[in-house]
């Protein structure tokens, strides 16, 4: 038997604009996504024997069987490459589910990359991204796993220059937000104002500028979940340069220049839910 452990980072959206909708109902995005140092860990083991796929998770709230996205990723890869083996995946969850941090998508991408390495399949990054797109809109981002603008329904990735150093405080209240519900509620609202044409360019040169931290889904989510809006306001009162809901929520992050200030703010917000002090990542964690 051979095994490896793969880290699966969370992500935050420094911006999330919804710029259209396809006839099939998928929303078209203009987003800036950044992986961060809050990670799940997946231990993947492969051995000879009767073909079998088993996924377990240490979080009872996360299903470990065929409905788990990590399971679907392994099944898809094996089906596409003709691999027949006994595969077990043990998932240790640190990224809260239903928080807009991409944990399930990152787990799926980690399985694709981990099995590609473990089985010496030699699939190129673009091949892995193609498989990832069949699993979910956020999954392709986690294949290269570096800061990027995201367009289309999540499959068009453009790497961005290195971001200035910052610390992020992520606050996850004790409830999740359904992504389909958030987008459906957004569709019921008047169309958002589109930003000036130079915003995408300024966003790349000043990624932490509070005026450029925009999430169109906040308009849909805040009225139903006012606690998320209150957490955002609290982060700003504690000295965050900017704050924003990530994805469809419920997580909110604040941007800090100082690690000490970030840690103090996380302590002050501990009563609001789970808090994490993280750094943006410049690339994927090492597979060990």
Per-residue pLDDT tens digits for 237-287: 999 999 999 999 999 999 999 999 999 999 999 999 999 999 999 999 877
* Model pLDDT, residue 114: 97
Instruction: Determine the Cα–Cα distance for residues 199 and 69; give it in Å rounded to an integer.
Output: 34
Q: Which of 11, 72, 113, 232 is catalytic?
A: 11
98 vs 69 pLDDT, higher one: 69
pLDDT for residue 206: 80
Q: Which residues sit opposite 4 in a β-bridge?
A: 44
Q: Please give the pLDDT value at position 160.
A: 93
In this model, does residue 16 exceed pLDDT 70?
yes
pLDDT, tens digit, for every residue of 129-150? 999 999 998 999 999 999 999 9
Q: What is the mean pLDDT of residues 101-117?
A: 97
Beta bridge partners of 149: 32, 158
Is 113 annotated in the active site? no
What's the pLDDT at 207?
86
End-to-end CA distance of the chain: 15
Instruction: State the average pLDDT over residues 161-178.
Output: 95
Q: Cα(101)–Cα(246) distance, rounded to whole angstroms?
A: 7
pLDDT at 199: 66
Q: Is the per-residue pLDDT at 202 higher than 60?
A: yes
Tens digits of residue pLDDT in 31-50: 999 999 999 999 999 998 78
What global pTM score does this model have? 0.94
Question: Which one is predicted more confidently, 196 or 202?
Answer: 202
Written in H, E and C, the secondary structure of 153-186 is CCCEEEECCCCCCCEEEEEECCCCCCHHHHHHHH
Q: Which of 107, 138, 216, 232 is catalytic?
A: 138
State the pLDDT at residue 200.
Answer: 67
- CA distance linking residue 113 with residue 143, whole number of Å: 7
Instruction: Give the pLDDT mean for 42-68.
Output: 90
Radius of gyration of the chain (CA): 19
Q: In this model, does residue 171 exceed pLDDT 60?
A: yes
The whole-chain average pLDDT of the chain stands at 93
- Annotated catalytic, 138? yes
Beta strands in the chain (DSSP E): 2-21, 27-47, 52-57, 86-92, 148-152, 156-159, 167-172, 214-215, 242-245, 252-256, 274-278
pLDDT at 25: 85
Q: Judge if the upstream peptide bond of residue 250 is cis by omega within 30 degrees of 0.
A: yes
């Amino acid at each position: 038997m051979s095994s490896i452990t793969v880290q699966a980072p969370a992500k935050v959206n420094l911006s999330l604009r919804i710029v259209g909708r396809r006839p099939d109902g998928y929303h078209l995005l203009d987003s800036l996504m950044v992986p961060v140092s809050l990670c799940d860990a997946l231990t993947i083991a492969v051995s000879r024997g009767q073909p079998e796929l088993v996924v377990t998770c240490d979080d009872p709230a996360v299903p470990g069987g065929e409905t788990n996205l990590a399971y679907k990723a392994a099944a898809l890869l094996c089906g596409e490459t003709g691999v027949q083996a006994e595969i077990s995946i043990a998932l240790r969850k640190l990224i809260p589910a239903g928080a807009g941090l991409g944990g399930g998508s990152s787990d799926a991408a980690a399985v694709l990359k981990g099995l590609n390495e473990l089985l010496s399949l030699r699939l190129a990054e673009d091949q892995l991204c193609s498989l990832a797109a069949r699993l979910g809109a956020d999954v392709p981002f986690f294949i290269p796993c570096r800061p990027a603008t995201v367009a289309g329904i999540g499959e068009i990735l453009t790497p961005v220059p290195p971001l200035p150093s910052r610390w992020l405080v992520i606050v996850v209240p004790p409830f999740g937000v359904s992504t389909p519900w958030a987008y459906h509620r957004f569709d019921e609202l008047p169309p958002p104002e589109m930003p000036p044409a130079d915003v995408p360019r300024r966003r790349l040169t000043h990624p932490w500028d509070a005026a450029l931290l925009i999430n169109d889904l906040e308009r849909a989510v805040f009225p139903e979940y006012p606690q998320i809006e209150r957490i955002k306001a609290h982060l700003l009162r504690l000295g965050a340069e900017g704050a924003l809901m990530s994805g469809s929520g419920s997580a909110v992050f604040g941007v800090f220049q100082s690690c000490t200030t970030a840690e103090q703010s996380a302590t002050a917000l501990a009563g609001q839910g789970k808090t994490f002090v993280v750094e943006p990542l410049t690339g994927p964690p090492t597979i060990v």
